[in-house]
A and B are shown apart, each in its own frame.
Chain A
Amino acid sequence: MTSADSSTPDSTDLLNTERFSPLHQAHVDAGASFTDFAGWQMPVRYSSDLAEHHAVRTGAGLFDLSHMAEILVEGADAADYLDYALAGKLSVIELWQAKYSLLLAENGGIIDDLVVYRLGDTKFLVVANAGNRFAAFDALHARAEGFAVSVVDQSDEYALIAVQGPNALAILDATEGVADLGTDLHFMKYYRITDASFLGQPLLVARTGYTGEDGFELYVEAGRARELWDALTSAGADKGLVPAGLASRDTLRLEAGMPLYGHELTVNTFPAQAGLGRVVNLGKENDFVGRAAIEAGPEAGASVLVGLIAAGKRAGRADYEIFRSLDAETSDGVITSGALSPTLGYPIAMAYVTPDLARLGTEVYVDVRGTRLPATVTSLPFYKRVK
């Protein structure tokens, strides 16, 4: 039996429509500036992206991630199906465990990076990037052929709110209306999820994030999003919680060395190039999409992702070229993400460079708008929280 429900609306219509989060009014009320992200009008900052960044490192930040895509995979073959559809071995994760994984193309490139949560023996929640909602759903849907599984795009039903930072646990503890937690959050490990309720409605609380800090991501039905946002805001009022926009989210994840799809990851990137070889499980016995290409490997000399740090304040940014010397005529790499690190105070970047430049400590040059500035290859992440 195959029942791969195609319940997502026509993708072209949605991509051409400006979309608003169920929390849009909360952001307007909080004075947010907005930016287009994959067709969504999302808060880029509320007042200061630096202040929001520092709040997440020292207190807590509240993020609206409702643009992200939630795809429910359910059925007798769900675990086997995911082992075929994705690069990792999802069948071995425990109930209420989460796992970072990759959706590979046949050519070994990355269609999307995602987080998979096991909600039951035969039920998984797959969370994909907003910009890849339809590409990810289409691929997951097509791969369900022959499996007893349903693949349903539930993105429009869910709102996603993240509370990130050292005070996140204390804030969740103090949030009115959150009840029926299947796991005590104080004993919940990182990369786990639990069921719960908010004002009597279903709630999922995951200990995951994209900031390099401890924190939680809360999946709630869209109609309850504002009430949950407000309850969290109240609970965090005396715990350093501020609403935080996508600008701070980007610098936070960059410091934490986390890849961003469209920058470090593309459909032309092999996982090994991005340092994600460990996410691909070649030890699993079954075939999976992209396996043959991954086993063949990327072409010899394919560029690899490295971290770069530099002195001064002038940051190399996405698309700036890397040179091996001051007078080299052809570039040896390109930055995919870069900024003046708010936490560290010096420029950091992730870049793809030719393999001979990838050794830690290698000195390279970044073309910063016509001036070649020195930078040093370093290990990722740039920032690691003290546990």
Chain B
Amino acid sequence: MTDTSKLQYTAEHEWILVDGSIATVGITAYAAEKLGDVVFVELPEVGSTVTGGTVVGEIESTKSVGELFAPVNGTVTATNDAVVESPELVNSDPFGAGWLIKVEFDTLPALLSQAEYSALIGE
């Protein structure tokens, strides 16, 4: 189980784990719960350049479609093949095995702390 207090968050319900210049990105348990069972995930290609705040992927549940926003400017260094194969990982382990992409970045924008994110979702 990932220690979620070490994560940073966005208002788009994504979490970011920073390790050096690499940001691992996923969606929060709150977002996964709101979506319902995830049945399809589309992720950007490894090596592609992404711009913070833009849509780079999709997370579809039976009922709705969620957009994946790049939280930082940078280059995609890895995508989670396991989650493409088994989208239910987004629901079963959103902060761990359900991670989506890794992005190499130069500058980290302002992100939310866990306390700030918890306040945002009213928990």
CB distance from A350 to the nearest CB of B (A): 15
Q: Does A369 contact B (CB under 8 A)?
A: yes
Contact of A45 among B36, B40, B42, B88 (CB under 8 A): B36
CB distance from B41 to the nearest CB of A (A): 9
A247 and B65 contact, Cβ closer than 8 Å, known pairs A48-B91, A340-B60? no
By beta carbon, the residue of chain A nearest B92 is A48
- Pair B65/A369 contact, Cβ less than 8 Å: yes
CB distance from A316 to the nearest CB of B (A): 11
- Pair B33/A49 contact, Cβ less than 8 Å: no
A50 and B65 contact, Cβ closer than 8 Å, known pairs A45-B36, A247-B36, A340-B40? no
CB distance from A336 to the nearest CB of B (A): 15
- Pair B62/A50 contact, Cβ less than 8 Å: yes
Q: How far is the CA of A44 from the CA of B33 in the complex (A)?
A: 11
Chain B stretch 39-79: residues in CB contact (< 8 A) with chain A: 39-40, 42, 58, 60-63, 65
Interface residues in A, total, Cβ within 8 A: 19
Which residues of chain A are near B42, meaning CB under 8 Å? Answer: 314
Q: Does A339 contact B (CB under 8 A)?
A: yes
By beta carbon, the residue of chain B nearest A250 is B63
A33 and B39 contact, Cβ closer than 8 Å, known pairs A49-B62, A369-B65? no
A247 and B62 contact, Cβ closer than 8 Å, known pairs A33-B33, A48-B91? yes
Which residues of chain A are near B12, meaning CB under 8 Å? Answer: none
Which residues of chain B are near A49, meaning CB under 8 Å? Answer: 36-37, 61-63
Q: How far is the CA of A51 from the CA of B33 in the complex (A)?
A: 14
- Pair A313/B39 contact, Cβ less than 8 Å: yes
- Pair B60/A48 contact, Cβ less than 8 Å: no
Chain A stretch 38-71: residues in CB contact (< 8 A) with chain B: 44-45, 48-51, 53
Q: How far is the CA of A197 from the CA of B88 in the complex (A)?
A: 43
Which residue of B37, B58, B88 has the most chain A CB atoms within 10 A of its CB atom? B37
Q: How far is the CA of A53 from the CA of B36 in the complex (A)?
A: 13
A342 and B62 contact, Cβ closer than 8 Å, known pairs A45-B36, A49-B37? yes
- Pair A48/B37 contact, Cβ less than 8 Å: yes
A50 and B60 contact, Cβ closer than 8 Å, known pairs A317-B65, A369-B65? no
- Pair A313/B62 contact, Cβ less than 8 Å: no
- Pair A314/B40 contact, Cβ less than 8 Å: yes
- Pair B65/A339 contact, Cβ less than 8 Å: no
Which residues of chain A are near B63, meaning CB under 8 Å? Answer: 44, 49, 247, 250, 339
Which residues of chain A are near B36, meaning CB under 8 Å? Answer: 44-45, 48-49, 247
- Pair A313/B91 contact, Cβ less than 8 Å: no
Which residues of chain A are near B39, meaning CB under 8 Å? Answer: 50, 313, 340, 342
- Pair A315/B33 contact, Cβ less than 8 Å: no
Which residue of B40, B61, B63 has the most chain A CB atoms within 10 A of its CB atom? B63
- Pair B60/A314 contact, Cβ less than 8 Å: yes
Q: Does A167 contact B (CB under 8 A)?
A: no
CB distance from B98 to the nearest CB of A (A): 14
* A contact set with B: CB distance below 8 Å: 33, 44-45, 48-51, 53, 247, 250-251, 313-315, 317, 339-340, 342, 369
Could you list some 17 contacts between A and B, CB below 8 A?
A: A44-B63, A48-B36, A49-B63, A50-B37, A50-B39, A50-B62, A51-B37, A247-B36, A247-B62, A251-B62, A313-B39, A313-B60, A315-B40, A340-B60, A342-B39, A342-B62, A369-B58
* B contact set with A: CB distance below 8 Å: 33, 36-37, 39-40, 42, 58, 60-63, 65, 88, 91
Which 4 pairs across A and B sit closest by C-beta, in order of nearness? A313-B40, A50-B37, A340-B39, A49-B36
Beyond A33-B33, A51-B37, A340-B39, 17 additional contacts (C-beta under 8 Å) are: A44-B36, A44-B63, A49-B36, A49-B61, A49-B63, A50-B62, A50-B88, A247-B63, A313-B39, A315-B40, A317-B65, A339-B62, A340-B40, A340-B62, A342-B39, A342-B62, A369-B58
